Chain A
């Protein structure tokens, strides 16, 4: 028996199931015409855990990136492994699986701390939110590759690796959203990079910490640069030795990141 409901109504019905993965999967096998709509929900949020070989599984399932459901993805998470070169995670050049995620709005990477983040540059022009946890100093080139970027979260970046000789790109996003900056001992390098961005800073919410008075000046400069737009400010100051765990380890941060996620 043919379906008498117009496709718009079917789409609405499927949309109601957006957080019911089992039902969505059932819809996928019920009718071929339902597949595109169900995929838009099933693949809206994609997480790759490199340690669990998710990337290889994805490539095996969708060998042709142009036909993969990646274009449905709005939130993309890539959790790497400390010491793993990025290029071995995402592949090289145009046509690699990562390039198919062209409509991502929220992008999140963690533990991609080796080599270059260039394969991710401009991945999706729609990116408005970027969170980088334990990634390399090249995060700021990555930031500048997303023209619509509003929200930025930098968790323990490693800017000291290229503390000198960085030239800010000629254009940068306006950064009108929120800034979460959690660093341990490198706030001044990170804030210097941010202040160098050509488009300026226009955050309405800032949540940042610094560890010691030698970093405080840069924090003040950063807050001052957003002085006109700021609506919410959270400052966390930690003096050396005052932290509840000493020293702070990657495990603490990672555990927190997972908990918060």
Chain B
């Protein structure tokens, strides 16, 4: 559901001035990802491709490696196949401090 909300939120943005998107979706699913969740990621993947096409925005996907956090770097090709394949996304590892840093 979390990823679905990210997609829903991004869809509300109509600004032509949008230049930057960064998302972090923590995911406490330990091993396999359910089909429903996979579909949500695919929807997000599709939307990010649209943002690239329409706004030339190269999104940042933040991920954390550590206790409770999912390492998205390894999962990115399956979760975000299109943007990963086309090299349209920057995967950025964040540190524990970055979790709560807002400036």
A: residues with CB less than 8 A from B are 153, 155, 180, 182, 204, 207, 209, 213, 216-217, 219-220, 223-224, 226-239, 241-246, 248, 252-253, 255-256, 259-260
Q: A216-B9, A239-B28, A243-B68 are in contact. Are A232 and B102 (CB under 8 A)?
A: no
Residue of B nearest to A211 (CB): B26
Is A231 a contact partner of B23 (Cβ separation < 8 A)?
no
Q: Complex: how many Å from CA A213 to CA B10? A: 15
Q: A182-B102, A220-B8, A244-B68 are in contact. Are A236 and B14 (CB under 8 A)?
A: no
B19 at the interface (CB under 8 A from A): yes
Is A242 a contact partner of B24 (Cβ separation < 8 A)?
no
Q: A153-B102, A235-B9, A244-B64 are in contact. Are A204 and B17 (CB under 8 A)?
A: yes
The one of A180, A232, A241 in contact with B103, judged by C-beta atoms closer than 8 angstroms, is: A180
The one of A217, A226, A234 in contact with B23, judged by C-beta atoms closer than 8 angstroms, is: A234
Q: Complex: how many Å from CA A207 to CA B27? A: 19
* Other contacts beyond A213-B5, A220-B5, A255-B97: 10, CB < 8 A: A182-B100, A220-B9, A231-B19, A231-B20, A232-B20, A235-B6, A236-B62, A237-B2, A242-B27, A260-B101
Is B100 a contact partner of A232 (Cβ separation < 8 A)?
no
- Chain A interface, >50% SS class: mixed
Is A239 a contact partner of B26 (Cβ separation < 8 A)?
yes
How many chain B residues sit at the interface, stated as a range, is 35 or more
Residue of B nearest to A228 (CB): B15
Q: Complex: how many Å from CA A153 to CA B103? A: 9
Is A229 a contact partner of B15 (Cβ separation < 8 A)?
yes
Q: Complex: how many Å from CA A235 to CA B66? A: 20
Residue of B nearest to A243 (CB): B68
Task: Quote the shortest CB–CB distance from A242 to chain B (angstroms).
Answer: 4
Chain B positions within 8 Å of A213 at CB level: 1-2, 5
The one of B5, B10, B26 in contact with A216, judged by C-beta atoms closer than 8 angstroms, is: B5
Is B96 a contact partner of A244 (Cβ separation < 8 A)?
yes
Residue of A nearest to B69 (CB): A244
Residue of B nearest to A217 (CB): B5
Q: Complex: how many Å from CA A137 to CA B17? A: 32
Chain B positions within 8 Å of A226 at CB level: 15
Q: A180-B103, A239-B28, A256-B97 are in contact. Are A227 and B13 (CB under 8 A)?
A: yes
Is B26 a contact partner of A237 (Cβ separation < 8 A)?
yes
Q: Complex: how many Å from CA A260 to CA B100? A: 10
Give B24-42 interface residues, CB cut-off 8 Å to A: 24-28
Task: Quote the shortest CB–CB distance from B9 to chain A (angstroms).
Answer: 4
Is A219 a contact partner of B101 (Cβ separation < 8 A)?
no
Chain A positions within 8 Å of B6 at CB level: 235, 237
What are 20 A-B pairs at a CB distance below 8 A? A180-B103, A213-B2, A220-B12, A227-B15, A228-B15, A230-B18, A231-B15, A233-B13, A234-B21, A234-B22, A235-B23, A236-B23, A236-B99, A239-B2, A241-B28, A242-B68, A243-B26, A244-B69, A252-B100, A260-B101
